[in-house]
Amino acid sequence: MNKAPWIFMGVLFTLSLSWWGMVYGPATQLGGETPNKGDGTALKPRVGLARQGEQVYRENGCYYCHTRTATGGKFGYELQLTQLGDDRVLTVEAIGKDRMSGVINQAFVIKAHKAVADAQATLKAEMDKPAAAEKNLKTEQDNLKAAEEKLKTEKNKAEDKDPKAIEAAQKSVAALQKAVADLQKSIADAPQAIAAAKKAADDAETHLAATQKFVKSNGLSEADHLTALGISGVTDTNLFSILKLPAELNDTQKELVANAKVAITEGEEQWSEIEVLVRLLKNKAGAQFKLQPVASDWPDMQNGVALRQSVSRDFLFDAHAMPGVMRIGPDLSNVGGRLMDDNAAYAHIYNPQSTGKSSHMPPYRYLFYRKEIVKGDALPSAAITVINNGEAQSVESGYAVIPTAKAKALLAFLKSLRTDSALPEAPLVKQAQSK
Amino acid sequence: MDEEIDNSATIAPEAKPEAINVSCRWPVLFLFFSAALWLVDAALAGVLGSLKVHVPGFLADCPFLTYGHLQANAWVAFLFGFAGNAGLGLTLWILSRLRGMPLARPGFVIAGTILWNVGVTAAMVGISLGDQTGVAGLELPNYASRVLLIGQAFIAFSAILTYFSRCHKQLYPSTWYLIASLVAFPWIVGTAHWLLAETPVRGAAQIPVGHWAATSLVQIWLGCIGLAAVIYFIPKILQRELFSRQWAAFGFWMLLLLGGWVNLNSGAPLPVWQITLSQFASGLFIFVVIAVGWNLRQTAKGVPLLGSDNLTLKFLGFALGAWIISGLFTFSNVCPSWNAILQFTYANTAIRHLFAWGFFAMAMLGAIYYVTPRLIGPNLDWPCAKIYHWIYRLIAIGAVIIVTAGVGMSWKHGKSLNAILVNKSPDVYSVKVEESGDLFSPRLLPAIRSLHAAGKLKSTKVQRKITKTGVEDEISLSDLPGYDAWPAVIQKRALMPMRVAFLGEVFFFLSSLIFLGSMVCLLARNCCGECSPMSLWRQFRGTQAEGGAK
């Protein structure tokens, strides 16, 4: 290491290695990210006021005390059944007897009800068939006669014999003969078919009775009934009377049916523990399901900081990515989902201590206009208020405090910070259910 | 003061040390004096910013002096104002001495220094007006970085001409470090300027780029200059050979390779491979610490650096210790569970303070203590050398306070950020969904939140029904237990280390004032021989006493 130019080249080479690892590589990967990964979860660009607000956030150095980084943690899987397969036995085999909750059994009951209704409808159809067939037979026989008549006349024509017409007439006669034969056969077979349909209906009834045995009476609420209806996949409104449901569902009930799911694991299971179960459900029982991650040791989720982990795509539309340095104040990755009303948020920015909660944030009074108000005059509607003794008062007594464009932009930016929609790389995480 | 002995290996200086000192005099003094001014500025901004942790309303109505602006200004003033000026000045002097050649083209240095200081001033004004980049640790506005790059190029031109002006049989390790620092600066700031400001990469990609630039600037740029001073002065003053060139070379290349990669937070919103790469680099950083630390320990074997009589040795000994501690902290980031606790706390800032003040400022001030009198003239000493001891003591105490409070107390903050504070068995809530007027039982708070997020919960009022007691009351959503995303206990724990660190900032400020005072005093006494302000004053007093000028 005594040749000066070599040191020079070596330094350049080493620095370019360092650059390649932490600048070129990441910038190429992250620079190529797209808002839409082809699964329907497109990120919305930050536009308008919120985009200006990002500059206010940067200008005032908010990122020194607030992070926008909800961290990851441990989670398990909750396996949610969204649609049952047809066979109860296979389902039991897949998920085990212990997991066959009242709702799932009820769903099979609904399926059985549906099967009974279907079987009876078939039976009725079969019973109606012979009469209709007899009627048809008569018409067809008449038609056959007419066709034979026509064939005869065609054949007996002395002049201008048309071979094509004869052929057509022959064909129609043959077809009608076949139809008549079929009808005769079906009339003959009808008793057998009716018997089979009757048997199927009887079987369905027996199955229903057998399935009903698994459901304990009056153990289920209306919500459970609706969930059972949802996962059974039955949409027949005629069945609602059996389920003691109104024929017309209201919006909440409809939503419950549409989003019906039954958790069959506790949510603490790791993938290796439920892999076999999932494969059985999918390949054998034919059920549909979702895997919902459940936070098990995940402080940021369980403390309500955010609903999922922050990932790089959350910063896709930032002009300046500011993930933050320190949490001297709360994490803001999902602050948009927390801000309840604009007035309270403005009051917090104007005077963080005014809202009653202990806070050590500096006031940002210069983001607001202050106008003295004459005693007795009413506050302008745009003025920021706080609730004091149940009464709305100006955030600073004697003054009307009105947000400037910068404050409005800042709030718009804060409201645009949300992580409450799932991304493929960061699904929404559920809280662990209390036992 | 000991003799002028150039003990750096087999270098036989061609020019005499006195000639070199004379050639360096004005350019380097200019750089050092600017550094002293910026150091006061940096420390003052630090104190004011830190005061806001105690009194949030302090200076709150002045948009130029928000906490964010003061933090950014303090760091920019330190990094570019103090560290840049002092570091470049020392680079020029050490390179000339090691090459045994007078400084080439001092005019370029003067021009570069003027540009450089204009750049730093522009950055400071820009940040106060809200032009900072948003990358913590590299807040330099767009226009300022251009001026700085040009200024540095002027100074580096002179340094590199000096470097290539003569060929020695052997290059002393400090030369490697200094050349690396000269090359690394445009590389790092250029990357940041180009990829974050000029043609910015897309949002998420700015995070690793900003991290790399901010970390490299500290670990590589500052690290190289500071270590060059340590490696140059410790053997020189002890009049010993450096223990091993191989160890030095190993540490040098490893530092260059790993310096930009280390210290990425384990919770950063980035793909996992980048975080793993950073953890891996942080783990390997222990070899840099061992290589440099062991080498210098062996060199100074048997000499207690901190207990030495020589003030320069004390400064550099403390600097070395602080660098090793911050290097060990970097190494600790190899462990994700440790990093997960400290990542969002004051600890990282405290370690940056240790690096900046405890290591870099200490090394620079020690070197300046040695170099400056020699620049002005032979056989000179600081006018009041005793007070220079106080700079050492104050910075040492301040750094110890900040690191102890910063890491120790932040541990509690980090622990509570990583603890589950919400009761695991929440009550049953029933929420009034206004649209349909139905009572709906989501059972859990997140469900209520997501309902609200989806806009289905029109009212901010929520009916709470506690089943155990049967109490029913109406509360607003933000009052719900567990809804509090920032409980008072965390807030208190977050502020405690910063409140204590305020004391350290005050010590830093005092030491910077003493340093500036010493510089002014030294220059006033000795700068222009018979025409210095002090001798003019003496002449004036003398003539006055004789009944002359009145």
Same-domain check for residues B454 and B338: no
pLDDT number for residue B252: 96
Residue B431 to chain A, least CA–CA distance (Å): 13
pLDDT above 70 for A295: yes
Contact criterion met (CB < 8 Å) for B267 and A69 = yes
Contact criterion met (CB < 8 Å) for B460 and A322 = no
Identity at B376, one-letter amino acid code: I
Same-domain check for residues B435 and B377: no
Option in A19, A304, A330 nearest B422 (CB): A304
pLDDT number for residue A357: 67
In which element (H, E) is residue B383 found? none
User: How confident is the model over A118-151, as pLDDT tens digits?
Assistant: 888 888 888 888 888 888 888 888 888 888 888 8
CATH number at residue B201: 1.20.210.10
Query: Taking CA atoms, what residue in B is nearest to A58?
Result: B134
Asked if the structure places residue B12 within a domain, the reply is no
pLDDT number for residue A390: 66
| Average confidence (pLDDT) over A250-275 | 81
Q: Are B102 and B19 in contact (CB under 8 A)?
A: yes
Percent of chain A with pLDDT over 90: 19
Tokens of A182: 């079929």
Option in B71, B201, B491 nearest A61 (CB): B71
The band of A428, judged by pLDDT with boundaries at 50, 70 and 90, is confident
Same-domain check for residues B290 and B372: yes
Residue A369 to chain B, least CA–CA distance (Å): 12
**Phi–psi pair at A298, nearest 5 degrees:** -145, 85
Mutation for testing the A interface, residue in B8, B62, B66 having most A CBs under 10 Å: B66
Contact criterion met (CB < 8 Å) for B169 and A418 = no
| Average confidence (pLDDT) over B64-71 | 92
Contact criterion met (CB < 8 Å) for A15 and B256 = yes
Contact criterion met (CB < 8 Å) for B449 and A304 = yes
Q: Are A102 and A215 in contact (CB under 8 A)?
A: yes
DSSP for A45-86? PP-HHHHHHHHHHHHTTGGGT--------EEEEEEEEEE--S
Contact criterion met (CB < 8 Å) for B60 and A363 = yes
Contact criterion met (CB < 8 Å) for A15 and B417 = no
In which element (H, E) is residue B422 found? none
Separation of alpha carbons A279 and B517, rounded Å: 78
Same-domain check for residues B402 and B354: yes
pLDDT number for residue B88: 97
The band of B221, judged by pLDDT with boundaries at 50, 70 and 90, is very high
Q: Domain boundary at B437, B461, B479, which?
A: B479
Contact criterion met (CB < 8 Å) for B53 and A27 = no
Mutation for testing the A interface, residue in B257, B420, B441 having most A CBs under 10 Å: B420
Contact criterion met (CB < 8 Å) for B134 and A322 = yes
Separation of alpha carbons A415 and A422, rounded Å: 17
Same-domain check for residues B64 and B148: yes
* More confident call, A220 vs B402: B402
Same-domain check for residues B464 and B359: no
Tokens of B388: 């220079």
pLDDT above 60 for B511: yes
Separation of alpha carbons B213 and A60, rounded Å: 22
Same-domain check for residues B339 and B438: no
Asked if the structure places residue B415 within a domain, the reply is yes
Asked if the structure places residue B2 within a domain, the reply is no
Asked if the structure places residue B450 within a domain, the reply is yes
* More confident call, B418 vs A303: B418
Q: For residue B472, what is the DSSP state?
A: E
The SS3 of residue B342 is helix
pLDDT number for residue A14: 95
Same-domain check for residues B221 and B132: yes
pLDDT number for residue B287: 97
Asked if the structure places residue B315 within a domain, the reply is yes
Look at chain B and report how many structural domains it folds into. 2
**Residues of chain A positioned with their CB less than 8 A from the CB of B278:** 22
pLDDT number for residue B122: 97
| Average confidence (pLDDT) over A148-166 | 79
Option in B67, B417, B420 nearest A362 (CB): B67
pLDDT number for residue B257: 95
pLDDT above 60 for B439: no
The band of B169, judged by pLDDT with boundaries at 50, 70 and 90, is low
Asked if the structure places residue B105 within a domain, the reply is yes
Q: Are B48 and B12 in contact (CB under 8 A)?
A: no
Question: What is the set of domains in chain A, with CATH numbers?
Answer: 42-71+302-416 (1.10.760.10), 76-96+264-297 (no CATH), 109-220 (1.10.287)
Asked if the structure places residue B102 within a domain, the reply is yes
pLDDT above 90 for A19: yes
Separation of alpha carbons B323 and B329, rounded Å: 10
Is A296 in CB contact (< 8 Å) with chain B? no
**Residues of chain A positioned with their CB less than 8 A from the CB of B435:** 251
Same-domain check for residues B475 and B492: no
**Residues of chain B positioned with their CB less than 8 A from the CB of A59:** 130-132
Residue B18: which of B8, B6, B9, B29 has the closest Cα? B6
Contact criterion met (CB < 8 Å) for A18 and B53 = no
Tokens of B292: 């440099």
Residue B233: which of B290, B180, B174, B294 has the closest Cα? B174
Same-domain check for residues B183 and B278: yes
Contact criterion met (CB < 8 Å) for B216 and A61 = no
pLDDT number for residue A41: 67
Option in A14, A313, A362 nearest B57 (CB): A362
Percent of chain B with pLDDT over 90: 65
* More confident call, B1 vs B141: B141
DSSP for B98-127? HHTSPPS-HHHHHHHHHHHHHHHHHHHHHH
pLDDT number for residue B228: 97
Same-domain check for residues B528 and B460: no
What average pLDDT does the structure give for chain A? Answer: 84
Is A338 in CB contact (< 8 Å) with chain B? yes
Mutation for testing the A interface, residue in B162, B337, B417 having most A CBs under 10 Å: B417
* More confident call, B355 vs A231: B355
Option in B68, B180, B482 nearest A61 (CB): B68
The band of B426, judged by pLDDT with boundaries at 50, 70 and 90, is very low
Contact criterion met (CB < 8 Å) for B491 and A358 = yes
**Residues of chain A positioned with their CB less than 8 A from the CB of B166:** none
Contact criterion met (CB < 8 Å) for B183 and A302 = no
* More confident call, B106 vs B1: B106
pLDDT number for residue A433: 56
| Average confidence (pLDDT) over B302-322 | 92
CB pairs under 8 A between A and B: 293
Contacts of A336 (CB under 8 A, 6+ apart): A414, A415, A416, A417, A418, A420
Is A22 in CB contact (< 8 Å) with chain B? yes
pLDDT above 60 for A77: yes
Find the Cα–Cα–Cα–Cα dihedral B387, B225, B137, B141, rounded to 10°.
Answer: 100
Contact criterion met (CB < 8 Å) for B269 and A10 = no
Which range, B17-21, B189-193, B299-303, has the best average confidence (pLDDT)?
A: B189-193
User: How confident is the model over B37-52, as pLDDT tens digits?
Assistant: 999 999 999 999 999 9
Q: How far is CA A112 from CA B4, B28, B376, B394, in A?
A: 102, 94, 102, 85
**Residues of chain A positioned with their CB less than 8 A from the CB of B60:** 362-365
Domain that holds residue B59: 17-420+487-543
Option in B68, B169, B210 nearest A2 (CB): B169
The SS3 of residue B535 is helix
Contact criterion met (CB < 8 Å) for A304 and B484 = yes
User: How confident is the model over A170-229, as pLDDT tens digits?
Assistant: 888 888 888 888 888 888 888 888 888 889 888 888 888 888 877 775 667 777 888 888
Residue B50 to chain A, least CA–CA distance (Å): 12
pLDDT above 70 for A432: no
DSSP for B196-243? IIISPPPGGGHHHHHHHHHHHIIIIIIHHHHHHHHHHHHHHHHT---S
**Residues of chain B positioned with their CB less than 8 A from the CB of A424:** none
Q: Are B78 and B38 in contact (CB under 8 A)?
A: yes
The band of B109, judged by pLDDT with boundaries at 50, 70 and 90, is very high
Residue B21: which of B100, B83, B88 has the closest Cα? B100
Option in B72, B206, B422 nearest A61 (CB): B72
Contact criterion met (CB < 8 Å) for A64 and B68 = yes
Furthest C-alpha separation in chain B: 103
| Average confidence (pLDDT) over B260-273 | 92
What average pLDDT does the structure give for chain B? Answer: 86
User: How confident is the model over A217-234, as pLDDT tens digits?
Assistant: 566 777 788 888 888 888
**Residues of chain A positioned with their CB less than 8 A from the CB of B211:** 22
**Residues of chain A positioned with their CB less than 8 A from the CB of B216:** 18
Q: How far is CA B163 from CA B101, B176, B221, in A?
A: 9, 11, 18
Option in A2, A61, A340 nearest B171 (CB): A2
| Average confidence (pLDDT) over B265-284 | 94
The band of A251, judged by pLDDT with boundaries at 50, 70 and 90, is confident
The band of B234, judged by pLDDT with boundaries at 50, 70 and 90, is very high
pLDDT number for residue B345: 94
User: How confident is the model over B486-505, as pLDDT tens digits?
Assistant: 777 888 899 999 999 999 99
pLDDT above 60 for B463: no
Is A413 in CB contact (< 8 Å) with chain B? no
User: How confident is the model over A94-104, as pLDDT tens digits?
Assistant: 887 777 877 88
pLDDT above 70 for B304: yes
pLDDT above 80 for B443: no
Option in B179, B211, B267 nearest A72 (CB): B267
Cross-sheet strand order for the sheet of B471-476: B438-440, B429-433, B461-466, B471-476
* More confident call, A150 vs B66: B66
pLDDT number for residue B359: 97
Interface of A with B in 215-244 (CB under 8 A): 223
Worst-scoring range by mean pLDDT, B196-200, B237-241, B380-384?
B380-384
**Residues of chain A positioned with their CB less than 8 A from the CB of B57:** 362-363
User: How confident is the model over A344-353, as pLDDT tens digits?
Assistant: 889 889 998 8
Same-domain check for residues B434 and B389: no
Asked if the structure places residue B7 within a domain, the reply is no
Q: Are B177 and B227 in contact (CB under 8 A)?
A: yes
Q: Are A58 and A320 in contact (CB under 8 A)?
A: yes
Q: Domain boundary at B437, B459, B479, which?
A: B479
Is A361 in CB contact (< 8 Å) with chain B? yes
- Per DSSP, helices labelled H in A233-312 are 251-258, 271-280, 299-302
